[in-house]
Amino acid sequence: MPPKAKLAKIIQEHTFSEKYDELRGEHPRLDDVHAGIDWLLARQPRQGTSVNEDHRVYKTSRYHITPAFYVLYRYVESEHTVYLLSLKAVEDSEL
């Protein structure tokens, strides 16, 4: 059996936490979305689209009444750490 890959550490920056807390009241399933983001980026930290040398954006999928979200993050390869920076609900017009 092949060895398991080491998971990237996930750190939620203050700006992400503030936006997350703000959006939780509007989107009751946001905790599930957050768990999925953490799960995926810990395993595939380069999953998102590169927007510049340091930052990436990952777009979640819409599910029933829960909208898709953009997640801005930074992956520091030398630390094997993902820093969650910002979160934004995707507007219907952006789909």
Domains of the chain plus CATH, in order, are 9-90 (3.30.2310.20)
Q: What is the pLDDT of residues 49-71, one digit of tens each?
A: 999 988 999 999 988 878 899 99
Average pLDDT over residues 27-40: 92
Residue 33 DSSP label: H
Determine how β-strand 49-50 pairs with β-strand 81-89.
unpaired
Predicted structure pTM score: 0.88
pLDDT at 1: 53
Q: Give the CA dihedral 62, 63, 65, 68, nearest 10 degrees.
A: -20
State the Cα angle at 88 between 82 and 92, rounded to 5°. Answer: 135
Report residue 17 CA to chain centroid gap. Answer: 12
